Amino acid sequence: MRLLVSVRSAAEVAAAIAGGADIVDAKEPAAGSLGAVSGRVLREIDLSVPAGVPLSIALGEPKSVAALEAAMAALDGLTARPSRVYVKIGLSAAGDGAEALLSAVVELASRTPIRPSVVAVAYADYLAAGAPAPETVARLAAATGADGVLVDTWGKDGGDLFHHMAEPALRGWIEQVRAAGLLVALAGSLSIDGVRVVAGLPADIVGVRGAACIGGRVGVVSESRVAELKAALADRVVTGR
């Protein structure tokens, strides 16, 4: 399983890489679960991430195709890299237009020079987010040609992923996503202990922000904390459930 670490600036990239992050994710935590960094900051992060390291980019929660196009414009001018680029999109603001919005991002990504992989974001606390249920997001991702699905938590003060989604239900959801041939990513206010549990599940990526920082999710990425999280992936907890 690969470790994704979210950074809010180029200054945090070195610590994430030195600690062992497999994927660097550009995200502004002060702007919500999927807060997008500015175009300037994204370009700075892009230039700081080694070419061989995949880059992930949060695009926020666009309400319309026009808002999506504006978010995707931030990708203009990014450097081509041999490693993959991912874009993450939330559906909490899309309402009945969730499928159309997801189809639009897949189409836009196919026409973008860097051709990023599209990851649809589901929320374990989807009722609070006003978003589609994780099972619905998985179905929409498969139907629209997205490349993967991430399940996260929308609220960051109401418990972690397992507070909202029991491990057996999460395992069943993962199996649904994998059966559709999609990449599976897990996140959601995970502690080091939470990462150990996630490491025992058949997912591809685990994402963290707060656990990798000194000072919580709006703090600063710490090399030593990233290294501890990387080690936790090898020290997985197998629940047997």
Tens digit of pLDDT for each residue in 150-202? 999 999 887 999 999 999 999 999 999 999 999 999 999 999 999 999 999 99
Query: N- to C-terminal Cα distance for the chain?
Result: 20
Note the pTM of the prediction, 2 decimals.
Answer: 0.95
Structure-derived torsion over alpha carbons of residues 110, 97, 121, 35, reported in degrees to the nearest 10: 90
Interhelix angle for 167-179 vs 134-144, to 10°? 10
- pLDDT, residue 240, reads 42
> 93, 94, 191, 172: which is closest to 134 by C-alpha?
172
Cβ-contact 40, 57 below 8 angstroms: no
4/136 Cα distance (integer angstroms): 24
- pLDDT, residue 157, reads 83
CA 120, 41, 126 angle in degrees (round to 5)? Answer: 25
- pLDDT, residue 77, reads 84
Cβ-contact 58, 27 below 8 angstroms: yes
| pLDDT of 85 over the 90 cut | yes
Amino acid at 145: G
Give the confidence band of 237 by pLDDT, cuts at 50, 70, 90.
Answer: low
Tokens linked to 62: 């666009």
Segment holding 173, helix H or strand E: helix 167-179
- pLDDT, residue 80, reads 86
**Strand duo 148-152 + 213-214: pairing:** unpaired
Give the confidence band of 239 by pLDDT, cuts at 50, 70, 90.
Answer: low
Q: Is 63 a catalytic residue?
A: no
171/49 Cα distance (integer angstroms): 32
What percentage of the chain reaches a pLDDT higher than 90?
93
Structure-derived torsion over alpha carbons of residues 120, 90, 28, 198, reported in degrees to the nearest 10: -50
Average pLDDT over residues 214-221: 95
- pLDDT, residue 216, reads 92
- What digits encode the pLDDT tens for the residues 130-144? 999 999 999 999 999
Tokens 């959601």 locate to 188
Please count the residues of the chain.
241
**Catalytic site residue from 63, 88, 156, 230:** 88
| Domain chopping of the chain, boundaries | 2-234
What is the CATH architecture assignment of 2-234? Alpha-Beta Barrel (3.20)
* Number of C-beta neighbours around residue 9 at 10 A: 15
Mean pLDDT of the chain: 95
- pLDDT, residue 241, reads 37
Count H helices, E strands: the chain? Answer: 10, 10
109/76 Cα distance (integer angstroms): 11
